[in-house]
Amino acid sequence: MRAFALLVLAGCSSAAPQRMDAALRSPEDFFGHRMGEDRKLARWDRIVEYFRHLDEQSDRLQLVELGKSTLGKPLVMAAISTPANLADREGKAIVLFTCALHSSEIGSSQTAPELAYDLVRGKLPLDDVVVLLMPSINPDGQEMIVDWYRKHAGTEFEGGPMPWLYHVYAGHDNNRDFYALNLVESRLVSDVFYKTWKPHVIVDHHQMGQSGARMFVPPYDDPVSANLDPMLTRWLNVFGTHMALDLEAAGRKGVTHQDTYSAYWIGGAMRTPWWRNRIGILTETASCRIATPVTVDVAEATDRKVKITTPDPWRGGTWRLRDIVDYQLDGSYSIVRTAAKYRKEMLGDLARMDADSVKIGREAGEELHVHGTDRGALRELSRMMEGLAVEHRLDEAGVHVPLARPYARLLLELFGKQVYPEGDKPYDVTAWTLSWLLGLSHEFRASACAPAGAPKADPWDARDTASFRRANAGLREGKTLWRATNGDFRTEAAGAAWKLAPVRLGLYKPWTASMDEGWTRLVLERFEFAPLPIENARMKAGKLKGDFDCIILPDLSAASIVDGRGDKDRPQVLPPEYQGGIGTEGVAAIRKFVEEGGTLIAFDDACGFAIEKFGLPVADTLKGDKDFSCPGTILRAKVDRSHPLAFGMPEETPLFFTNSPALSTSVPPRIDIDRKVVVRYEEEKDPLLSGFLNQTEKLKGRAALVEVTWGKGRIVLFAFRPQHRAQTWGTFKLLFNAILHSRAERT
């Protein structure tokens, strides 16, 4: 039936094939065990096989392959309803369930086959509802987790973490990508959100800790984004309250709401669609150890008191994977029933929200105009707008977006200044003003600009981030390139200041699975750098200068880099071959690498490693400060454009700061050591642009980027993440300059 399914996806219809439900195999029969059975897991390849079986045997389920994952696995979605609804879904409530985005939260991938089987067999009436079911939206990680669990079953490491990321680039951060759409999985899922099926309700099943409540459902916690339609917030509460009621009726204890998970930040899979007036429901079910039961003593149960948000608490006991499946099944049934019950009211209100968004957009102006000198960043913004199905035009003057559209609230959220409410503890980042992250400017204009023609720019202009991709490609092909005194790339030496050479780039890869390492790798690969992983054994082996010109340390503490876990007394949960850090041998090897002329780049917490192990004339003035808070904020900083690390940058730049260091410098102790502040926060201006910052004075005048010359080599301290989640295009150039400068020869 796949050919038929693809016709439906394209908006076509076809005669429904003959139903053959009698041949359906249950998940238990197909997999050889009940879903959620202790220490039993269904792997992604077998899950896909089971959905293909359902597709072949029933006319109530159509399987669609949306595309391939990062590592080339099929990312599939099942559409489940009556044959008539699958042929024509007009006027039906469309409900999408996304599962196992976080692959260690394995339960929902085990729930999905049983949910599909129940729906195909008619457990719930689907006359008014079309159910879309994605058994995992990170199939690469689902297979990694299952394989790791099976490999270590029966050992002390059963149910423990892997030493690598379960999304090859993003790890757990793949749930922070749904407006930037840097990952192929995010783009494929968003196509379903906004372009093809356009579901009215999106449910994202997750898992949380082991000792607290058994399941979180909406209502969400405060604060709430001011750009959300109030009626949407009410519908979030309607679905969540019905879930809590139905779970209570099913005897499921420990269901809670208004705890931890707020309705403020925009990056999550079910959150970003809120600003497109779609109902996004998060569930968080308590975890076990992958498929191994856990026992929680009554004194260890942290949410065992009766309260208005948890009227029937869970007071400890044994918790199994099957419990997760049961809670998610009952919650999913409730969502489908609620969508059917309130279909007419819901569809009517969603349509009114769209109409109101058009009015709000018209009041904001005729168009959003985003502009700047970085053509690469403008093209990146155009790519994001395309992925979000936002109508726009890219021309020589910038990106133009009409405002009187149903997506107006999304634009106001993405391009507005975030002001986090006082008194609330942020759950995640507090700022995402998109133009500032990209190093661009924007305004809401009263009238639209006429088309300015095709984009025209110098492809070697250092202000264009894309010029670094061209330069790296040229160097790899054996071309000789120079950089002029303003940083522009040149193919001839006339007037040039720096001659370039290919950089042998190393990226430290710890066994503690650093998401910052993954995002760094993604950014570097996209810009034609070729980072090689440096694992602990290679670092300890020494002679690094023989293989590398530049080494990057991602955002990791000094203790984590040296010891592996950050706490020598903490029990190791990884197998012996994956334990520890670079040790004293690795520290000595890095020191020798710099002394011999290498460039060491450190991000965020890794600055502390470099400061401590090299004894640099630099200090982190926020070290140990428990009162200061700036948890994911866009700040304003000044740039010394005369320095080669600042080539192509403006005099003032927004940068992304997430509880990062703030640096001060001092007079060096030796003549062969020097320091230069390349980026600093101003003394006079408030550094806060967007988000939350509680103690401004502690940043004023502090350094954000410092280059230390150390003998023949350099140490570059980024007291922020210039490549954060592959979203901060405005500061990519600072990183790229630091890398290329490691082999640049002054002419």
225 lies in the same domain as 111: yes
For the residues 694-701, what does the mean pLDDT come to? 95
Q: What is the CATH number of the domain that holds 522?
A: 3.40.50.880
Longest Cα separation, the chain: 85
Q: What is the pTM of this model?
A: 0.95
Q: Which of 353, 377, 397 is the last residue of a domain?
A: 353
Looking at the structure, tell me whether residues 408 and 517 fall in a common domain: no
Q: What is the pLDDT of residues 582-597, one digit of tens each?
A: 999 999 999 999 999 9
489 found inside a domain:
no
Compute the Cα dihedral for 51, 52, 57, 60 and give only its sign: positive
pLDDT at 21 > cutoff 70: no
Domain end point (choices 399, 430, 445): 445
Q: CB-hemisphere CA count at 13 Å for 666?
A: 10
Q: Are residues 314 and 373 in the same domain?
A: no
Residues 341 and 378 grouped into a single domain: no
411: in domain: yes
In a domain, 552, yes or no: yes
Burial of 570 (0-12, 13-18, 19+ CB in 10 A): exposed
pLDDT band at residue 427 under the 50/70/90 scheme: confident
- pLDDT category, 26, cuts 50, 70, 90? very high
Q: Evaluate whether residue 595 is within a structural domain.
A: yes
Is residue 132 in some structural domain? yes
Q: What pLDDT, in 10s, does the model give residues 446-482? A: 998 888 776 667 899 999 999 999 999 999 999 999 9
* CA-wise closest residue to 380 among 432, 450, 458, 440: 440
Q: Which of 306, 328, 353 is the last residue of a domain?
A: 353
Q: Mind listing the pLDDT tens digit for each residue in 270-294? A: 999 999 999 999 999 999 999 999 9
Domain check: are 424 and 347 in the same one? no
Q: Which residue has the tokens 């759950």?
A: 427
Taking only the tens place, the pLDDT of each residue in 141-156 is 999 999 999 999 999 9
Residue 98 lies in a domain: yes
- H/E element holding 144? helix 139-152
| Domain co-membership, 612 together with 558 | yes
pLDDT digit string (tens) for 473-508? 999 999 999 999 999 999 988 777 899 999 999 999
Q: Do 235 and 287 lie in a common domain?
A: yes
pLDDT at residue 4, as a whole number: 34
Q: Same domain, yes or no, for 283 and 376?
A: no
Q: Are residues 507 and 596 in the same domain?
A: yes
Could you tell me the two tokens for 318?
A: 């044994």
Collapsing DSSP states into helix, strand and coil, what is residue 197? Answer: coil
CATH number at residue 308: 3.40.630.10
> Is 690 part of any domain?
yes
User: Is residue 200 within 8 Å of 339, Cβ to Cβ?
Assistant: yes
The range of the structural domain enclosing residue 654 comes to 501-746
Residues 293 and 289: their CA atoms lie apart, in Å, by 6
Cα distances from 234 to residues 91, 411, 427, 618, in angstroms, run 21, 22, 21, 51
571 and 161 in contact (C-beta within 8 Å)? Answer: no
The pLDDT of residue 570 is 56
The pLDDT, as a whole number, for residue 567 is 54
Q: Are residues 118 and 217 in the same domain?
A: yes
- Per the DSSP assignment, residues forming a β-bridge with 221 are 262
Is residue 307 predicted with pLDDT exceeding 70? Answer: yes
Same domain, 653 and 740: yes
Of 13-27, 231-245, 619-633, minimum mean pLDDT range: 13-27
User: What pLDDT is recorded for position 454?
Assistant: 64
- On whether both 337 and 390 belong to a single domain, the answer is no
Count of structural domains within the chain:
3
Tell me if 475 is assigned to some domain.
no
Query: Would the pLDDT of 636 be above 80?
Result: yes
Question: Cα separation of 55 and 562, whole Å?
Answer: 52
Looking at every residue in the chain, the average pLDDT score rounds to 94
Three-state DSSP at 700 gives coil
